[in-house]
Structure 1
Amino acid sequence: MLTVHAAPLVLPVGAAAVAQGAVAVEGDRIVALGPYDEVVAAHPTARVRTWPGVITPGLRQWHGLWLLTRCYHPDPREADALGDQPLWGEAFERLVGEMDATRRAGSVRRGLQQMLRYGTTHLAGRFHDPAVRTAVARSGMTEVSVVGAPGILVGEPSLDPFVEGYDLPGSVHGPLTVGGRADLAVFDVPDEAALCAAGAGRCVATVLGGRLVHRRR
């Protein structure tokens, strides 16, 4: 089904922002991008999803390897004992000896789910662990090898790609383009400056290969 995602501002990256913009998606591809009235007129039978804030390309998580292999993402049932944030460093090392393959795989799946809640669609890798590679592939996220991608973690690992101090072009997987894969993120902020200041925690929706995989309730 053809779907139009509309918002007060579309930030394609690499092209001018579009006020009252829209992105039309069919299958896993972007088929139109521009002012809402023009996109809807060209696709009158499309389902329309109207979002607050801004639509951007999906984000790239620079520290996916850290977050999936050197952090533990607690099960909600463990929240009383372990909290709800990724555990790393000494806390992670203490848990390693207690984790069987099933528990480790659950952590990886939860980590991927959390990334989707931050608008992440691409992970800087390489993931050599077969279980992690399989989980990433099943999630639908794209594993990318980026020359010069940060390999040393500074500070605490974060699910928010903006924490590293990158601007929007440095945080997205690439620009939104007609014919390109429909990997989008929606943030409840008024503009690009507010997004960089507030961070990806303001994500309200993530579209991965044309599928709505996260929607904040």
Structure 2
Amino acid sequence: MLTIHGAELLLTGPGAEPVVDGAVVVDGARIASVGPYEEMAAEHPGARVRRWPGLLTPGLLNAHAPALLEAAYHPDPREEEQLGSEPLADPAALAGLELADARWGESARRGTQRMLRHGTTAVAGPFERPSVRTAVARAGLVVIAGPRATVPAPAERVSLDPIAALPAGTSPETAFTGPLAPGARADFAVFAVPLMADLAKQGAVSCVATVLDGRLVFRRR
């Protein structure tokens, strides 16, 4: 079944001209077409419609995923009273947790879910731990290797928020995974901000929806 995802502003890729009241038409796991919402709705009268507030963009790449999933522990909600809710990356603290590979996998599963809540659809790789590789694969995240996956960053910029992790003054477009075009994977995110400048200021915590391989994998309530 076709689904039309409409937003107040659509940005199909870096340098692209924004489309006011734009839409992405999804057919299964692929993008069927993109353009103004009224045109897309007229061309696909039987499609299911999802209307989103704010800005719809390509999904984001988290370029520091190995550090977040293989060198940081994401506490289980049942551990929050003892460990808190934020990822733990301190080597001394990690040593005290006695993390076997299976527990790393559980941590990575929670970490990937948190990434989806930040508009992430792709992560840097590769991953050394088998259980982490399994968690990433089950989440459906695309693993990207190469120059984009080896961008160095100071520890304070390694973040679940791919935009916050960018060097100061860098456009959020740098984190886009790829252009939204007919035939491409339906990987995109929606942010509750009106403009790119606002996305740069607020970061990916403003994400209200993430679509991965055509599936709505996160929706903020």
Q: State the TM bucket, normalised to the shorter chain.
A: over 0.9
Q: CA deviation at 1:92?
A: 4.3
> What stretches of structure 1 move > 6 A for 4+ residues in a row?
none
2:147 is matched with: 147
Q: CA deviation at 1:148?
A: 5.2
1:3 and 1:144 map into 2 onto residues whose CA distance is 27
SS of match in other structure, 2:46: coil
1:109 is matched with: 109
Residues 91-139 of structure 1 show CA distances to partners (whole Å, capped at 9, x for unaligned) of: 543345x223332211010000000000000011111222111111111
1:46 is matched with: 47
RMSD: 1.4
Do the aligned residues in 2 keep the contact of 1:71 with 1:92 (CA within 8 Å)? no
* Residue 169 (str. 1) matches residue 173 (str. 2): yes
SS of match in other structure, 1:80: helix
Gapped runs of 5+ residues in structure 1?
A: none
SS of match in other structure, 2:155: coil
TM-score scaled to structure 1, two decimals?
0.94
- Equivalent in 172, 185, 197 of residue 193 of structure 1: 197
1:209 is matched with: 213
2:188 is matched with: 184
SS of match in other structure, 1:177: coil
Taking only the aligned residue pairs, the percentage that are identical comes to 50
User: Which aligned pairs between 1:3-14 and structure 2 lie closer than 5 A?
Assistant: 3-14=3-14
Aligned residues: 216
* Amino acid in the other structure paired with 1:193: A
Gapped runs of 5+ residues in structure 2?
A: none
1:62 is matched with: 63
Q: CA deviation at 1:155?
A: 2.8
1:151 and 1:161 map into 2 onto residues whose CA distance is 12
